[in-house]
Every structure is written in structure tokens, then in C-alpha cells.
């Protein structure tokens, strides 16, 4: 007899009134409880002797530490002729540093029971360390070597070059990648950092040298352009001397932050159809230029988008997935960045209903411009508010949030007031931001699918100018994958 049956038998024999209980009313969803209260522990603002700012938040429940070094060194800082150099520099940090090989670094990280990762985005580069508190001192020394003293070995650059060129080659068979690349380029153009893939292009990768990486590192990896975030089981008195030994000798003023690159809003509705013969699904991307992270409309936009496409029960997903069955999922979102990121609505739909799906997308984009019912607004506000504290369940999540405070110079009580400000969003504000930021008549529509099956039905919708493209028009010629090595 299983343990469950054994326990059930004991329960029944005990005379418990199982059958006498009144079943719950399932005709309506249960009432939500009060919104959660949220009070972030005090953030300590410290600095090292070289001026490197340190944000410390103590969490003593578990003996682990998260250390994030964030630098203002992303793709927006790259030379125009070297796209991808920021991402490659970040990737190469742990491929050899302070005389250690890539394998040697990996072995040391494993021995410490740590995780060490590096990466670059549009505006920042990060070096992140997750380590037991007992191993913090040697782990910090290793982290500093990786961030400040990379060797950039030529053989490892060749290997990474091949990996990235292979990735670019694989995009040709990935409709989602094709759609995303063309969507970004359509909105921003190929001269804007947001319109170029972070990994770079086949041409820039083929030409990239160790000297390019060293130059980018020397110019942008400076304490004046960096912040250290520490979250975990440690005090200021204990951690500051360790940080000073690891990072205190690092020198260099802040580099100049690039000015926001100009971009024009989508002027009219236009459709780009990219041919992927034989595709069983069509990848749809619809959008326009959105808002920067520091917009005063941030909270109304978050709530509005939650209603439109930011949750499983959003209008887009309920329509295209639950009601029509066109897709496994449809969503929308604003990419909030230091500069104005895109607004995107997207789904992968069955090929034969591509035109019908576009009709439903446009229906929902128009529908969100109307006044939102109060019960739907309340559900959206509660969804955002109830989910917000989960960001801070881990030391890594908390450190990421503190990094956002530093990047955008937000006040320490910003997250304490997040739920309050979310719940204060009104129907009038949602209607206003929808009208201001979403214009269904001025959007770019990118569809990757089987042109023979989708072109005529899409043209028949008469949504706007229709252009057709091939995969080669989007990605260019297939990159040549080098077989040798030794470039330096």
C-alpha cells in the first residue's frame, strides 16, 4: 500500500467529516488578499580608496554572497566600425587572466564552489560572482583578475570568433532570430546601436583583433565608470578590507557616456514579409519606438502592458492562444533602457492563420486605447504588485535590482514604494499612455514565414505597404567559418 493510501485510510477510519464539508464555490475566482507589504533592508553606500562606489545590502539567512561589478561599457560605446567588440571583450575576460588559462580559471572557480560569469548588453558590462561566504576572499581576488587583468589570448579569440560566426550562420534556420533582427533594424536602422546585434556582424567578427579588445578594455573598464554591488551574509566591516585588496589599486576616471543616438518614430504602418519556404509557423513582430526607463509614465505603462500582453491572462494571449488557438503564446512588452527601447507585440502562429492572427493583433492594439474596465485594471495592478517581491527572493535577484538603482540613479526607497505606485495607477492613466505610446496606424510589422502561403492573405488585409524580403536580404551572405587559428 502506498504511503498516500495508508494516510487516507487512517483519515477515513478516524471519523473525520470529509463528506460533510461544503465544497468551495468554483463559480468565481477566490478573493485576493491584501497586497503584500515590502520593505527593503537598508542599503549601505560605501566606497573604496580609489572612489569605486559600493552598494551593500546585508542578508544573513544563508551563508552566500553575490558580488556584481557593473561597468558603463556596452554596445552603445563601441566604435561604429567595430560592432560586437563590447560583447566579445566581456566574453574573453574569463578566457585567460593574470597568467591563468581558461581551464585554469574554471578549475579555480570550481574549487571555490563559486559561479563566475561575464556579459555585456547595450549599456553595461557585468562581472558577477556567487560564492559561499567562507570562500569570499580568494574568490574576490580571482574576480578582480578576470575583470581587471584579462590576457585576451589569441587562440581563445579565434575559438570565440568561430562560435559567434557559427551562431550567425545558424540564424538562417531560426525564424525567430530572423524576425527579431529585422524588427530591430527596421525600427532603429543599421547605424543605431539598438539596430545591430550585440554579437556583431560577420564582417566585424572576422576583422576583430586582440588589440581591439585591449583598446576597449583600457578605455571603458575604469573604476570611475563602475559600481560594485554586494548582497549576502556579510557586514561592511568584514567586506570592505577584502574589496580594497581586490579592487583598491584599480585606477582610471570615468569615460564619457555616449549621447543618445537619434531615432525617428515609425511614421506609417508597413509590413515586411520575409520568406522562409516550408515554414509551418509564422513569426510575427509588431511594434514601434517605446519609452526610456526613466519616463514618468513607467508605472502606467507597466500596468497597461500587463493588460495587453504582459501576463498569461493578458488580452493578446487569451485571444490568440486560449480563444482562437492560433499560437502557443502571444505577448507584448516595453524594453525599458537608458535610451528609448522598443515596444513589441509578438507570437509564433500557425502558417494558415497568419492573416487572421494579424487581424487579432490589430484588434487588441486598438482595443487597449479604450477605457479599461475597473475589474480588469485591478487584476493587472494586483498581478504586478503580488509578483514584485519575488525579485528579491535570492541574493542574485536583489543584487540585480540594486544594480538598476545605481544605473538609473534611483532613490534608495524606490523599491519600497514600487507596490504603492503600481496600485495607484488609474484607468485614466492607462488610457492616456496607451494613446501616447501605442498607435496601431504607425507600427512596423515583420513576419517571417512561407511567402507562397501567407503573402496573398496578408496583402488582402490592406493594412499598409507590403514589402517582401529573403533571408539573405536580412542576414547577407552566409559567413565563412575559418578553419585555422592564430589571429592576434
pLDDT mean over 467-477: 96
pLDDT (tens digit per residue) in 150-167: 999 999 999 999 999 999
Indicate the pLDDT class of residue 317, thresholds 50, 70 and 90.
Answer: very high
The domains found in the chain, sorted by start residue, are 44-247 (3.30.830.10), 270-475 (3.30.830.10)
Average pLDDT, the chain: 92
Indicate the pLDDT class of residue 392, thresholds 50, 70 and 90.
Answer: very high
Indicate the SS3 state at residue 274: strand
d(CA 307, CA 311): 7
Look up cell 580609489; give the residue: 50
Of 37, 36, 39, 42, give the one whose Cα is nearest residue 231.
42
Q: What pLDDT was estimated at residue 32?
A: 59
Check pLDDT > 50 for residue 476: yes
Check pLDDT > 60 for residue 5: no
Check pLDDT > 50 for residue 104: yes
pLDDT (tens digit per residue) in 400-448: 999 999 999 999 999 999 999 999 999 999 999 999 999 999 999 999 9
Give pTM, 2 decimals: 0.90
Indicate the pLDDT class of residue 25, thresholds 50, 70 and 90.
Answer: low
pLDDT (tens digit per residue) in 170-229: 999 999 999 999 999 999 999 999 999 999 999 999 999 999 999 999 999 999 999 999
Asked whether the beta carbons of 309 and 332 are under 8 A apart, the reply is yes
Query: 84's torsion region: left (phi>0), alpha (psi -120 to 50) or beta?
Result: left
Indicate the pLDDT class of residue 275, thresholds 50, 70 and 90.
Answer: very high
Of 332, 330, 334, give the one whose Cα is nearest residue 289.
334
Beta-ladder partners of 331: 346
Of 259, 161, 176, give the one whose Cα is nearest residue 486.
161
Look up cell 525564424; give the residue: 175
> For 402-407, which contacts have Cβ atoms below 8 Å and span 24 or more sequence positions?
402/43, 402/55, 402/57, 402/68, 402/229, 402/231, 403/68, 403/70, 403/126, 403/227, 403/229, 405/43, 405/55, 406/53, 406/55, 406/70, 406/227, 406/229, 407/70, 407/123, 407/124, 407/227, 407/338
Q: What pLDDT was estimated at residue 483?
A: 76
Amino acid at each position: 500500500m502506498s504511503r498516500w493510501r495508508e494516510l487516507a485510510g487512517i483519515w477515513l477510519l478516524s471519523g473525520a467529516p470529509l463528506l460533510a464539508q461544503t465544497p468551495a464555490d468554483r463559480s468565481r475566482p477566490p478573493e485576493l488578499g491584501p497586497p503584500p507589504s515590502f520593505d527593503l533592508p537598508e542599503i549601505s553606500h560605501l566606497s573604496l580608496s580609489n572612489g569605486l562606489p559600493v552598494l551593500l545590502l546585508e542578508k544573513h539567512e544563508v551563508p552566500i554572497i553575490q558580488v556584481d561589478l557593473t561597468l558603463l561599457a556596452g554596445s552603445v560605446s563601441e566604435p561604429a566600425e567595430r560592432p560586437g567588440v563590447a560583447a566579445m571583450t566581456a566574453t574573453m575576460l574569463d578566457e585567460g587572466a593574470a597568467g591563468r588559462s581558461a581551464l585554469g580559471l574554471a578549475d579555480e572557480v570550481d574549487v571555490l564552489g563559486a559561479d563566475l560569469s561575464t556579459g555585456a548588453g547595450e549599456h553595461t558590462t557585468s562581472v558577477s560572482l556567487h560564492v559561499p561566504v567562507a570562500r569570499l576572499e580568494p574568490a574576490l581576488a580571482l574576480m578582480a583578475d578576470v575583470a581587471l587583468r584579462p590576457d585576451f589570448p589569441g587562440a581563445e579569440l579565434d575559438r570565440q570568433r568561430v562560435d559567434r560566426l557559427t551562431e550567425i550562420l545558424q540564424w538562417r534556420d531560426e525564424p525567430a532570430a530572423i524576425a527579431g533582427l529585422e524588427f530591430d533594424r527596421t525600427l532603429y536602422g543599421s547605424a543605431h546601436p539598438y539596430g545591430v546585434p550585440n554579437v556583431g556582424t560577420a564582417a566585424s567578427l572576422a576583422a576583430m583583433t586582440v588589440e581591439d579588445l585591449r583598446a576597449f578594455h583600457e578605455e571603458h573598464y575604469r573604476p570611475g565608470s563602475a559600481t560594485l554591488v554586494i548582497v549576502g551574509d556579510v557586514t561592511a566591516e568584514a567586506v570592505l578590507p577584502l574589496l580594497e585588496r581586490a579592487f583598491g589599486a584599480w585606477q582610471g576616471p570615468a569615460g564619457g557616456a555616449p549621447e543618445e543616438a537619434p531615432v525617428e518614430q515609425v511614421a506609417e504602418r508597413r509590413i515586411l514579409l520575409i520568406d522562409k519556404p516550408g515554414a509551418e509557423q509564422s513569426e510575427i513582430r509588431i511594434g514601434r519606438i517605446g519609452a526610456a526607463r526613466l519616463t514618468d509614465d513607467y508605472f502606467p505603462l507597466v500596468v497597461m502592458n500587463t493588460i495587453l500582453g504582459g501576463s498569461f491572462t493578458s488580452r493578446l494571449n487569451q485571444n490568440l492562444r486560449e480563444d482562437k488557438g492560433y499560437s502557443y503564446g502571444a505577448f507584448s512588452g516595453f524594453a525599458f533602457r537608458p535610451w528609448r527601447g522598443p515596444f513589441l507585440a509578438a507570437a509564433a502562429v500557425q502558417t494558415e492563420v497568419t492573416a487572421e492572427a494579424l487581424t487579432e493583433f490589430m484588434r487588441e492594439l486598438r482595443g487597449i486605447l479604450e477605457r479599461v474596465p475597473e475589474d480588469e485594471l485591478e487584476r493587472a495592478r494586483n498581478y504586478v504588485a503580488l509578483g514584485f517581491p519575488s525579485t528579491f527572493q535570492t541574493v542574485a535577484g536583489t543584487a540585480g535590482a540594486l544594480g538598476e538603482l545605481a544605473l538609473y540613479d534611483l532613490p534608495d526607497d524606490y523599491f519600497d514604494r514600487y507596490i504603492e505606485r503600481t496600485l495607484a495607477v488609474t484607468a485614466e492613466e492607462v488610457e492616456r499612455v496607451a494613446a501616447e505610446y501605442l498607435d496601431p496606424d504607425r507600427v512596423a510589422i515583420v513576419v517571417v514565414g512561407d511567402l507562397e502561403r501567407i503573402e496573398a492573405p496578408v496583402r488582402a488585409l490592406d493594412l499598409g505597404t507590403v514589402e517582401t524580403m529573403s533571408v539573405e536580404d536580412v542576414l547577407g551572405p552566409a559567413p565563412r567559418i575559418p578553419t585555422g587559428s592564430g589571429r592576434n
